[in-house]
Chain A
Amino acid sequence: MEITALSQPTVAAQLRALWIIAKKDWKVFWRYPLNAVSHVFQPIIWVTPVYFMGKAFSTNGQALGFAQYSGTGDYMSYVLLGTALSNFILTVFWGMGFALKEDMDAGVLESNWLTPVSRLHILVGRTLTSLLTTTITSLIMLAVSALLFGFRPTGNVVAAILTAIPMLIGLYGFGFAFAGIVLLMREANTLVDVSSFLVQGFSGANFPVKSLPYWLIPVSLMLPLTYGFDAVRGFLLKTSTLFPLNVEVTILIVFMFVMLWFGAWIFNRIERKVRTLGTLGQH
């Protein structure tokens, strides 16, 4: 006997589901308005110690030592751009892995799982609102930081944005794989915090990877995000890059396709295992 689901989801139905998830997250986000303020000021708070530390290393406001590695003595523009990009990285990590944990704790994960919506779509849906709010808050953050610390992009803004797009899409692959691990481990905070912190750190969010100890440089070069940070800065701040810009952009495009496929594969495998074990609703 063939069992047919009562609902036959179409592309339009999947898109409606994405819209509903995003709308729900939008409502929840604005229910706690202080969070929006926090999104703007939190990154500024994080870079403030770097600003004052940089002053302790600078002569007449120029970090000459920093310029030897990066090609620019304007270390704050370098760090602020890295921070803005990191906001998006965090959004994908938090948006998927942590959203699953939230659903587990609230006891709605199993019921969401029973709906005839692709599980990967549920994950993507949880990032849509965050991406929008991150874009808004990051732009405000850069504007406020420009007043406080100075932010001087002198290069090609369009090329920098176009470079960031394949990097962000590739990050979804990371996010899928990561969400699978959260399903299995049933704990998100440590996993999300540690992995996103390490990935950002070793990709050069706050410093040029050339300054890393020699034994850490291979780790950095293995992370595709390194090329994302490097290329975006190369376009926008005209810093010296690890490889020619066209090579770095090609790496990012390859990374996007490979990670999307690999991340979805990992997630689907783990998700099936969790359903087999019957541990989906446990937390």
Chain B
Amino acid sequence: MEATLSPQSLGKPGLASDLRAFWAIVNREWTIFKRYPSWIIALLIWPLIFPMMYILTARALSGVDGSGMTVFTQTTGATNYIGYIVIGTTVWMWQNIVLWDVGFALRNEQMRGTLESNWLSPTWRFSYLLGHTGPQIITMTTFILITAVEFGLIFGVRLNGNPWLALLIMLASIPAIYGLGFAFASIVITAKEAHTFVFLVRGLVMIFCGITFPVSLLPGWMQSIAEWMPQTYMIHGMRSAAFANASFADLLPDLKALLLFGAFWLTLGYLLFNWMERRARQTGAIGQY
């Protein structure tokens, strides 16, 4: 008599267990985050010092008699150069932090040697990335609030527009920013040279999206590239909403572009993750670094 034996996993994954796994990852990330108190310094200092270096450069470029500032106002149409720079640099920092945090989520596990063992657990693997995103959104919201408070109090930056519309632009940007992070996480774990990829992506944002200058100053071919980057629309939309008193109708082109980019990057992020996961199991390379 021949007996057949079908191997059965001890774990029985379901929606509830996936949610529990997601929550466990959120909890773990939050615990690790709190364990290194220097994040408090980062959260208070970075929103101020990163834009400040560009602001101080702008101050030097404007000259003792402010003649350079007159030229800047004529070129950009911006009367508040501090607010103009703060919005551009904050969007850059947001994308940069997401690339490091979400993009490195799996790579850090790989470096610690825990990725393989996590992969063996009967959980929905995408929850590893989603779990990282939860605490990240909370810290980024705090980060942006701190930026607004610091520049409001120290530099006297005041909004000349509708803060709710600025918030709407930020919300519409979330899918594109985090979708890019998901796609990035999968590429990084396959290619392994993570730092270089972060430098490349954030570098593109820095060069093409007009973080400290209007995109119209770029040569034509660079403007064409800028049109394919969601951060260009985020920066433009937020500047218009916060400082140019733009209406909802004025912001509609930026909102549409951001939502389309969001759908694209989320889909691509998910597909790349699935591809990476299958490839990792086939090649057995998940634990190598």
Residue B207, interface by CB 8 Å = yes
In the complex, are the beta carbons of A201 and B53 less than 8 A apart?
yes
Looking at the complex, which one of B46, B59, B63, B218 makes contact with A52 (CB distance below 8 Å)? B218
**B interface majority secondary structure:** helix
**Distance, CA A106 to CA B273, complexed state (A):** 27
Q: Mark A40-70, 1 if CB is under 8 A from B, else 0.
A: 0110011011101111111100011111111
For chain A, residues 221 to 276, give those with C-beta under 8 angstroms from any C-beta of chain B: none
Residue B38, interface by CB 8 Å = yes
Segment touching A, from B11-19, B127-135, B191-199, B237-245:
B191-199
Q: Mark A193-237, 1 if CB is under 8 A from B, else 0.
A: 110011001000011100110000000000000000000000000
Taking each of B38, B59, B217, which has the highest tally of chain A beta carbons within 10 Å of its own beta carbon?
A: B38
Residues of the A chain whose Cβ atoms lie less than 8 Å from the Cβ of B54: 49-50, 53
Interface size class of B (residues with CB under 8 A): 35 or more
**Distance, CA A32 to CA B188, complexed state (A):** 13
Known A50-B212, A53-B58, A57-B71; judge A38-B63 contact (CB<8 A): no
Residue B94, interface by CB 8 Å = no
CB-CB nearest in chain B for A48:
B207
In the complex, are the beta carbons of A190 and B38 less than 8 A apart?
yes
Residue B167, interface by CB 8 Å = no
Q: Nearest Cβ distance between residue B218 and chain A, in whole angstroms?
A: 7
Residue A34, interface by CB 8 Å = yes
The count of residues in chain A whose C-beta lies closer than 8 Å to any C-beta of chain B is 46
CB-CB nearest in chain B for A34:
B196
For chain B, residues 62 to 77, give those with C-beta under 8 angstroms from any C-beta of chain A: 62-69, 71-72, 75-76
**Distance, CA A37 to CA B199, complexed state (A):** 11
**Distance, CA A105 to CA B112, complexed state (A):** 8
In the complex, are the beta carbons of A58 and B71 less than 8 A apart?
yes
**Distance, CA A234 to CA B111, complexed state (A):** 46
Known A49-B213, A56-B71, A65-B63; judge A207-B49 contact (CB<8 A): no
Residue B211, interface by CB 8 Å = yes
Tell me the total A-B contact number using a CB cutoff of 8 A: 133
Q: Nearest Cβ distance between residue B78 and chain A, in whole angstroms?
A: 9
In the complex, are the beta carbons of A55 and B195 less than 8 A apart?
no
Q: Nearest Cβ distance between residue A14 and chain B, in whole angstroms?
A: 31
Residue B229, interface by CB 8 Å = no
Residues of the A chain whose Cβ atoms lie less than 8 Å from the Cβ of B210: 52
**Distance, CA A56 to CA B56, complexed state (A):** 15
Looking at the complex, which one of A48, A56, A198, A207 makes contact with B60 (CB distance below 8 Å)? A207
Known A38-B199, A45-B207, A65-B63; judge A57-B58 contact (CB<8 A): yes
Residue A35, interface by CB 8 Å = yes
Residue A185, interface by CB 8 Å = yes
Residue B260, interface by CB 8 Å = no
In the complex, are the beta carbons of A187 and B193 less than 8 A apart?
no
Looking at the complex, which one of A59, A64, A206 makes contact with B53 (CB distance below 8 Å)? A206
Q: Mark B13-47, 1 if CB is under 8 A from A, else 0.
A: 00000000000000000000000101101100110
**Distance, CA A35 to CA B36, complexed state (A):** 27
CB-CB nearest in chain A for B204:
A45
**Distance, CA A204 to CA B125, complexed state (A):** 47
In the complex, are the beta carbons of A190 and B39 less than 8 A apart?
yes
In the complex, are the beta carbons of B68 and A49 less than 8 A apart?
no
A-B contact pairs, 5 of them (CB 8 A): A42-B199, A63-B68, A65-B60, A194-B45, A194-B46
Instruction: Supply 8 further A-B pairs (C-beta < 8 A) apart from A49-B212, A193-B42, A201-B56.
Output: A49-B206, A49-B213, A65-B65, A66-B63, A190-B42, A197-B53, A207-B57, A212-B59
